Structure 1
Amino acid sequence: MSFNNLDTLYRQVIMDHYKNPRNRGTVDGDSLTVDMNNPTCGDRIQLQLQIEDGKVVEAKFEGEGCSISMSSASMMTQAIKGKTIDEALTMSKTFSEMMLGEDIDMDEDLGDILSLQGVSKFPARIKCATLAWKAMEKGVKE
């Protein structure tokens, strides 16, 4: 697949998550809630995590912002469900490395998250992409 076709596919995946967000809403019952925003561009997110026995059993978000921040939140909530806290934090570390343009372990199944790899070329947008991830890190570390 050529680079242009891959770039187009990645844009389509990002827009699909933006227009049809997964896990948008609130968690029923007890949950860990983290509010974060990106004052640079106005993105804001409220992330709710339900954690049982060290595992993320539910992850939902509410918020508003650009297509990058909202699709990243959608992808992140999908990716961390069913993962242990340590696995979720490792995934977050890998995502941060990818956003910084570093080589990442391609053996780790990042799924749709890989479509955000091109964001690393636009430093001003990295905070948009990492907002939900930083919220998750903050929540599980408290």
Structure 2
Amino acid sequence: MDNLYRQVILDHSDNPHHHGELSDKTNDIELKNPTCGDVLKLDLKVEDGKIADAAFSGYGCTISQASASMMTDAVIGKTTDQAEEMVQTFSSMIIGDDVDTDILEDAATLEGVSKFPARIKCATLAWKALHKALNK
């Protein structure tokens, strides 16, 4: 099972979904992780309270890129309230809290990052960007 999880993470990092920029974005933000140098720019298109589209660009480690890819997959089509609930669930999961991770889709495979404190900021960068972009 661990190998399957690792493969999902590597697949998202090597072939990220929704990588790029949106020309018709309504919300955007750029965040940096000063600890390791990861940079993530997130573009969102929010229409009628739903995330109609999302894209990210920037650079970083395998974990940050995979997390951004998984996050964009998971939130497109969700309401902003659902997306905020996902941010909270992801944040709780990544620090080791026992939570129902079903709403996170592939991002639930990052649960093991909680055992590696140095990687928590990498995994949460995209999710923090989502929260800040929605509340900007």
Q: State the TM-score bracket (shorter-chain normalisation).
A: over 0.9
Residue 138 of structure 1 is matched in structure 2 by 132
Percent identity between matched residues is 54
**Other structure's SS at 2:100 match:** coil
Structure 2: give runs of 5+ residues left out of the alignment. none
Matching residue's letter, 2:109: S
Structure 1 residue 78 corresponds to structure 2 residue 73: yes
Structure 1: give runs of 5+ residues left out of the alignment. 1-5
Structure 1 residue 10 corresponds to structure 2 residue 11: no
TM-score, normalization by structure 2: 0.97
Q: CA deviation at 1:79?
A: 0.3
Structure 1 residue 98 corresponds to structure 2 residue 83: no
Map 1:1-142 → 2, pairs under 5 A? 6-106=1-101, 108-142=102-136
In the alignment, the residues of structure 2 paired with residue 114 and residue 86 of structure 1 have an alpha-carbon distance, to the nearest angstrom, of: 19
In the alignment, the residues of structure 2 paired with residue 22 and residue 29 of structure 1 have an alpha-carbon distance, to the nearest angstrom, of: 18
| Larger-gyration structure (1/2) | 1
Q: CA deviation at 1:109?
A: 2.9
In the alignment, the residues of structure 2 paired with residue 9 and residue 69 of structure 1 have an alpha-carbon distance, to the nearest angstrom, of: 18
In the alignment, the residues of structure 2 paired with residue 63 and residue 114 of structure 1 have an alpha-carbon distance, to the nearest angstrom, of: 22
Moved over 3 A (4+): none
Q: CA deviation at 1:110?
A: 2.1
Matching residue's letter, 1:38: N
1:62-104 Cα deviation digits (max 9, x unpaired): 0100000000000000100000000000001000000010000
RMSD: 0.9
TM-score, normalization by structure 1: 0.93
